[in-house]
């Protein structure tokens, strides 16, 4: 709606993760390099954790976009899951049939998944199982990953599993020695600091085609204060700021615009 007014080719801020608009920070780059290593080296298990809205899913999608030809990814978007639900989700992610009945056989499901992974490994593929939203999986569901991880081929893992979840996930896994000991690496994403937030906003605007500064320094400080550096919140605040500036016919987001944004958001239950 406001793109033409600001000379943009696309909206710079969106609620949905968009790998093409990835703006690196020190924490996210460290996490991404570790993710890339984990997926490429078949290390067994990896944990990616951090507060909600800090870009964990974005890193996973970027990883999938930059994978090598020999790599394959199985994705599970976790809801509330117990062990049987996790085993069924593994079957579906591998595009294997799931027989729903009152006598679901978890061990049979894991054997079928293991055979599928072993076949892929024999064909020279490196498999990575990505589980996003791991905070919703109960301890029984996590034990299924332990069981799958115990299946090997010629002494090597059939796949690397990447658990991605909020901070509570890391705390809980530390209390589960069986799973904790199967994690070879971990990484954490963090909210942006004030300079990082300013760079993030400027970088997203530039990536969307802006050839000029759309937020003055005072406006950027307000974006950081209101968002607390959480990228998802930054996107929401900055998008509303541009929309407000457009309505006021201001070519740059300034203090006046941000005051209007803060007032509107303070009345918004979201």
Average pLDDT over residues 165-194: 90
Mean pLDDT computed over 151-171? 89
Q: What's the pLDDT score for residue 101?
A: 63
Q: How far apart are CA 83 and CA 160, in angstroms?
A: 19
* CATH architecture for the domain at 26-188: 3-Layer(aba) Sandwich (3.40)
Report d(CA 32, CA 134) in Å as an integer.
18
The pLDDT value recorded for residue 8 is 94
Better-predicted residue by pLDDT, 81 or 270: 81
Q: What residue spans in the chain does CATH classification 3.40.50.300 cover?
A: 26-188
pLDDT at position 138 is 94
Q: In 3D, which of 246, 198, 193 has the Cα closest to residue 218?
A: 198
> Which run of H or E residues covers position 122?
helix 106-122
pLDDT at 4 over 80: yes
More confident residue, 198 or 269: 198
Instruction: Look at 8-12, 56-60, 130-134, 165-169 and tell me which has the smallest mean pLDDT.
Output: 165-169
Q: What percent of the chain has pLDDT over 90?
A: 71
pLDDT band at 269 (very low <50, low <70, confident <90, very high): low
Least confident of 42-51, 61-70, 126-135, 189-198: 61-70
112 falls in which pLDDT band (50, 70, 90)? very high
CA-based nearest residue to 12, from 191, 209, 225: 209
Which of 61, 121, 127, 116 is closest to 91 using CA atoms?
A: 116
| Residue ranges, CATH 1.10.8, the chain | 3-13+192-266
Mean pLDDT of 185-198: 95
**Average pLDDT score over residue span 55-74:** 90
CATH number of 3-13+192-266: 1.10.8
> Is the full-model pTM beyond 0.85?
yes
Does 26 have pLDDT greater than 80? yes
Can you say whether residue 22 is alpha, beta or left, with left for phi > 0 and alpha for psi between -120 and 50 degrees?
Answer: beta
Indicate whether 218 pLDDT > 90: yes
If we measure between CA atoms, which residue out of 182, 187, 76, 184 comes closest to residue 134? 76
Q: What are the pLDDT digits (tens) for 74-111?
A: 999 988 999 999 999 999 999 998 876 667 889 999 99
């Amino acid at each position: 709606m406001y793109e033409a007014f600001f000379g943009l080719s696309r909206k710079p801020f969106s609620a949905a993760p968009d790998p093409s608009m990835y703006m690196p920070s020190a924490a996210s780059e460290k996490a991404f390099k570790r993710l890339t290593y984990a997926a490429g080296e078949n290390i067994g298990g990896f944990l990616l954790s951090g507060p909600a809205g800090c870009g964990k899913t974005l890193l996973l999608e970027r990883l999938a976009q930059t994978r090598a030809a020999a790599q394959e990814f199985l994705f599970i978007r976790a809801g509330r899951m117990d062990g049987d639900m996790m085993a069924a989700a593994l079957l579906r992610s591998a595009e294997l049939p799931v027989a729903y009945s009152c006598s679901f056989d978890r061990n049979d499901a894991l054997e079928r998944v293991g055979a599928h992974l072993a076949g892929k490994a024999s064909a020279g593929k490196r498999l990575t199982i990505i589980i996003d939203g791991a905070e919703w999986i109960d301890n029984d569901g996590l034990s299924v990953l332990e069981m799958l991880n115990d299946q090997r081929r010629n002494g090597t893992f059939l796949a690397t599993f990447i658990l991605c979840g909020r901070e509570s996930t890391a705390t809980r896994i530390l209390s589960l020695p069986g799973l904790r000991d199967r994690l070879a690496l971990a990484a954490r994403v963090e909210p942006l600091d004030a300079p990082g937030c300013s760079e993030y906003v400027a970088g997203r605007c530039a990536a969307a085609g802006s050839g000029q500064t759309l937020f003055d320094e005072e406006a950027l400080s307000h974006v950081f204060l209101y968002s607390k550096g959480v990228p998802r919140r930054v996107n929401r605040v900055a998008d509303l700021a541009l929309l407000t500036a457009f309505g006021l016919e201001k070519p740059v987001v300034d203090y006046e615009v941000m005051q209007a944004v803060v007032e509107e958001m303070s009345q918004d239950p979201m």
